[in-house]
Amino acid sequence: MKFAVYNNKGKEDGTINLPKEIFDIPMNADLVHQVATVLSANKRQISAHTKNRGEVSGSGIKPWRQKGTGRARHGSKRSPIWVGGGIAHGPRKDRVLEKDISKKMKRKALLMVLSEKARNNNLIVIDELISDNGKTKDMVKLFNVLPCYNNSMFVAIPKYDEKTILAIRNIKKTKIDEARNLNVLDLLNKKYLILAKDSIKTIEENFVDNKK
């Protein structure tokens, strides 16, 4: 599959043959949905937490004697039916929401999404994506002349580069990360994928099973 390559001024500067093992994988929506659901569940952070009757403060002494008072019997003021008592069946932060899925399924789903980006022309390949000064305004100028203008973008760089990350991370609707950290959820949340040319090799090394 031939794809246009843009230079650092946002103009087309040649073409590249995209590897079939990455960008020509048939779509399986059920698998992609399953992987996205698992990744989303594993990102959840539980903050809601209520105390049960064993955790609230208060004396454990019996409020009054069992018989003879004319009142209902009670054994503790920490009971859930008392004001200030424990909460019955409330949310707890010790819940386990994480789900497991095989590495092979995650990789396969990722390649499917990458292929869909290419088929739908939501993939942009840039010859070299490096910021020498770490200034956001220079990257904004580049993105404004690319087909992804004013849309959400995920930028994948081949390796960690502090200045490039500083220049891109504050741009609205844009996320940047190393190509080795790509995942289905991030790609689905952004319309366009911007790849530095060298990132394709990184994806191949990390996500393509070359064992026959």
Condensed to tens digits (0 to 9), the pLDDT of residues 53-102 reads: 999 998 889 999 999 999 999 999 999 999 999 999 999 988 888 899 99
Residue 1 has pLDDT above 60, yes or no: yes
Which of these, 39, 43, 52, lies nearest to 92 by C-alpha position?
52
- Read off the pLDDT of each residue in 108-118 and give the average, rounded to a whole number: 96
The pLDDT value recorded for residue 66 is 95
The pLDDT value recorded for residue 65 is 95
Q: Quick one: pLDDT band at residue 188, thresholds 50, 70, 90?
A: very high
Cα-based angle 210, 178, 209 (whole degrees, multiple of 5): 10
> Max alpha carbon distance in the chain (Å)?
95
CATH of 2-44+97-207, one of 3.40.1370.10, 3.40.50.1100, 1.20.1260.10, 3.40.50.300: 3.40.1370.10
Highest mean pLDDT among 46-50, 56-60, 106-110: 106-110
The pLDDT value recorded for residue 155 is 96
Residues found in the chain = 212
Alpha helices, H only, the chain: 20-23, 29-43, 103-119, 136-144, 162-168, 184-189, 199-207
The pLDDT value recorded for residue 45 is 87
Q: Using CA atoms, how far apart are residues 84 and 77, in angstroms rounded to an integer?
A: 8
The pLDDT value recorded for residue 87 is 95
Residue 48 has pLDDT above 80, yes or no: yes
pLDDT one-digit tens code per residue, 122-156 = 999 999 888 888 899 999 999 999 988 889 999 99
The pLDDT value recorded for residue 96 is 86
pLDDT over 70 percentage in the chain: 99
Give me the DSSP letters along 48-74. -----TTTS-S--S-SS-SSSSSSPP-
The pLDDT value recorded for residue 125 is 95
Which of these, 124, 110, 121, lies nearest to 27 by C-alpha position?
110
Any idea where the domains of the chain sit in the sequence?
2-44+97-207, 46-96
Q: For residue 70, is it left (φ>0), alpha (ψ between -120 and 50) or beta? A: left
Residue 198 has pLDDT above 60, yes or no: yes
